[in-house]
Amino acid sequence: MEGKKDIITVAVVNFKAATGDKEQNLARMKGFSVAAAKRGADLVLFPEMCLMGYDYFINEEIKMEEKIAATETLQGPSCTALSEIAKEYGIYIVFGAAEKKEGSDILYNSAYAVGPDGFKGAYQKMHPFETESIWCEKGENPFMIDTEWGPISVGICFDTYQFPELMRYYVSKGSRLYLNPTAVIEEIPKECSRQAFINYYAPTLEYGVLCNTIFIASANLTGFDDTNYFGGGSAVIGPKINPFFETDVTYYAGDKDNVQEGIYLSTIDLSLATRPLFVKSKYTGTPDYRPELYKKFL
């Protein structure tokens, strides 16, 4: 994308969902979106399944018919309400919710995206985690948002932590910013639960930055939902050039220890996302990334 911008202000939201209360969650999402926009955000990222809460859909005591009835399409009322805010303030908003297609009762764990010009689309989680498979189908397609900063890519939680192929694909296609709406649980009141959460949550994100030399924005649920306690830690992380001119990783906004609900925001320079594995090497004239070779392994 010629003439793409480099400087973008990204906000991630540590969000405490009210289980099954779409009206309350949406009202707070609208409030956080407006507040982030007034602080200069170009893009606001909310966590996985924040519209109804994560626990509502994995609760097997709630009938599937009720879950289907609570689920909206891309152009449903909730997405429309946030789309109006995106248009008014000229921002992008990405948030997690259950999704159904028009004329279908099949549900997906999705990330909706709206922008200054309206609905941008939705990503359906490719790798549902454990009990999610009880209520949702597996997504099939990668998804990138076409923006003035180039393509911004999306993966959800388990997609990010256990399947690095998705992020690699996006980076090979030019993405310099990867969005991770997530719902990572902290197992309390077990001893060392916070350290266990951090040891799972942070290293994979940090490795994604170090390996791909891109920025990652991650928004997690925080606090109790219904039965689960979520660990927060929403952050914007990315590359930093150290004194040896090597890529290092730094937290530009938020941190992995933070459980406080709120907005964490930073202005970042995407020109630091150099993606060296995916551009022509000065030594060989070809990229080090070789997808045509990897296909032979399958």
Structure tokens belonging to residue 167: 């992020």
Record the tokens describing residue 123, joined without a space.
Answer: 């990503």
Band of residue 123 on the pLDDT scale cut at 50, 70, 90: very high
How do residues 86-96 score in pLDDT, each as one tens digit?
999 999 999 99
32-41, 245-254, 281-290: least confident range? 245-254
Residue 134 three-state SS: helix
With b meaning 16 or more CB within 10 Å and e meaning fewer, what string describes 225-249? beebbbbbbbbbbbbeeeeeeebeb
How far CA 280 is from CA of 117, 142, 276, 286, in Å, comes to 34, 24, 8, 4
Q: Looking at residue 189, what is its pLDDT?
A: 81
Distance CA 129, CA 250 (A): 28
Cβ-contact 33, 84 below 8 angstroms: no
> What is the pLDDT averaged over residues 115-119?
97
Residue 243 has pLDDT above 80, yes or no: no
Give the model confidence (pLDDT) of 204-227 as tens digits.
Answer: 999 999 999 999 999 999 999 999
User: Mean pLDDT of all residues in the chain?
Assistant: 95
- Amino acid identity, position 4: K
Residues near 214 by beta carbon (within 8 Å), at least 6 away in sequence: 167, 171, 175, 176, 177, 178, 208, 238, 239, 273, 275
Cα-based distances in Å from 235 to 52, 210, 211, 232, 257: 22, 16, 18, 9, 10
The DSSP call for residue 130 is: G
Q: How far is CA 38 from CA 14, 35, 42, 132, in A?
A: 18, 5, 10, 35
Q: Across residues 15-33, what is the average pLDDT? A: 97
pLDDT of residue 1: 45
Residues forming beta bridges with residue 119, ordered by sequence position: 114
Residue pair 160/184 in contact (Cβ under 8 Å)? The answer is no
**Alpha-carbon distance 233 to 229, whole Å?**
13
Q: Which domains does the chain have, with CATH numbers?
A: 7-297 (3.60.110.10)
pLDDT band for 190, please (50, 70, 90 cuts): confident
Q: What is the pLDDT of residue 147?
A: 98
Q: Residues 25-63: pLDDT tens digits?
A: 999 999 999 999 999 999 999 999 999 999 999 999 999
Q: Which of 65, 35, 32 is nearest to 50 (CA)?
A: 32
What is the torsional sign of CA 152, 236, 26, 21? Answer: positive
> What confidence tens digit (pLDDT) does each residue in 141-160 have?
999 999 999 999 999 999 99
Name the burial class of residue 192, with classes exposed (0-12), middle (13-18) and buried (19+) by CB atoms within 10 angstroms of its CB.
Answer: exposed
Q: State percent of the chain over pLDDT 90.
A: 92
pLDDT for the residue 3? 74
Evaluate whether 224 touches 15 at the Cβ level (below 8 Å): no
Has residue 187 got a pLDDT over 50? yes
First to last CA, the chain: 32
Residue 2 has what pLDDT?
Answer: 55
pTM as predicted: 0.96
